[in-house]
Amino acid sequence: MNSIPEIAIKFFGENRPCLCGGAHQVCLNCAVCRANDPDELFNPEDGIASIIDATILKADATARDISALCETANKHHTASVCVNSYFIPQVKKLLNTDVKSCTVINFPLGAGSRKAVKKEAKAVIEAGVQEVDMVQNISAVKSQDWDMALETIKAVSIQCIENRLLLKVILETCFLDREEIIISCLMAKKAGAKFVKTSTGFGTAGATAENIALMREVVGPKLGVKASGGIRDKATAELMVKSGANRIGASSVTAILQD
């Protein structure tokens, strides 16, 4: 089994030591150096509501569903509301300023071409969204087309960086082995993403404590780690946070926040 530094060197070269604390140890020459950024770690004083992305992504979601979600998010001061892009104008009107709007692209299969994903990113940015969760090119990863996998993330990250938007890269860990998870985390970090995320919620499985811990180990403290998929109660959310997550994607917001 290859170590995280060995995988990093194989893909990105034996560079100078990294300054950001990632387990890859060698500098990835990232699109954005995060070494001087604040740590992306959960602060218990802020409360778990502050790191929840209140989410509705089901195909049959209605405007009424979105309104109810925004009301819940405003009440509890969640990090964001994450919806399909059709609903961006609605959530922009309904959300308080402390709750961000978030949408998904290349979702849920992660099988769009680089050009298609780039254009989709442009469209949601122009719609005024504040955070973007993109599914990486899963087919490229499974085909070991590493250049295309990286370039697809970069096509989005460049636009997010230019517009000062937060980008989370969804790995869809249920389809990946350990080494593929490590490589995917390294590519997301190198491309300039701010978060790596476990799952779409539409795959064969969701977040696990083991994968969260691995992702946190790889990226270090300067990138965020989002646990998503199958988090429906407070105990599961707390387990994900304990394992290294500092953002939670969930549709069961009220259940998670129950005492």
- Domain-embedded: residue 8: no
- Domain-embedded: residue 16: no
Q: What single DSSP character describes residue 86?
A: G
Per-residue pLDDT of the chain (259 residues; tens, 9 = 90+): 899 999 999 999 999 999 999 999 999 999 999 999 999 999 999 999 999 999 999 999 999 999 999 999 999 999 999 999 999 999 999 999 999 999 999 999 999 999 999 999 999 999 999 999 999 999 999 999 999 999 999 999 999 999 999 999 999 999 999 999 999 999 999 999 999 999 999 999 999 999 999 999 999 999 999 999 999 999 999 999 999 999 999 999 999 998 6
- pLDDT at residue 259, rounded to an integer: 62
- Name the active-site residue from 118, 154, 194, 226: 226
| Residues in Cβ contact with 170 at an 8 Å cutoff, skipping those fewer than 6 apart | 104, 107, 110, 133, 134, 135, 136, 197, 198, 199, 200, 228
- Name the active-site residue from 133, 154, 189, 222: 133
Q: What is the CATH number of the domain that holds 181?
A: 3.20.20.70
Is residue 142 flagged as an active site residue?
Answer: no
DSSP character string of 116-137: HHHHHHHHHHHTT-SEEEEE--
CA angle 140, 12, 170 (to 5 degrees): 40
- Domain-embedded: residue 206: yes
- Domain-embedded: residue 4: no
Closest among 233, 240, 117 to 169, alpha carbons compared: 117
Instruction: Give the global pTM.
Output: 0.97
- pLDDT at residue 1, rounded to an integer: 86
Question: Position 80: which residue type?
Answer: S
| Residues in Cβ contact with 167 at an 8 Å cutoff, skipping those fewer than 6 apart | 131, 132, 133, 134, 156, 157, 160, 161, 192, 193, 194, 195
Placement of tokens 């779409």 in the chain: 200
SS3 call for 141: helix
Is residue 197 flagged as an active site residue?
Answer: yes
- Domain-embedded: residue 34: no
- Domain-embedded: residue 1: no
Domain count, the chain: 1
- Domain-embedded: residue 230: yes
- Name the active-site residue from 168, 190, 197, 222: 197
Q: What is the domain extent for residue 153?
A: 39-257
- Domain-embedded: residue 26: no
Is residue 154 flagged as an active site residue?
Answer: no
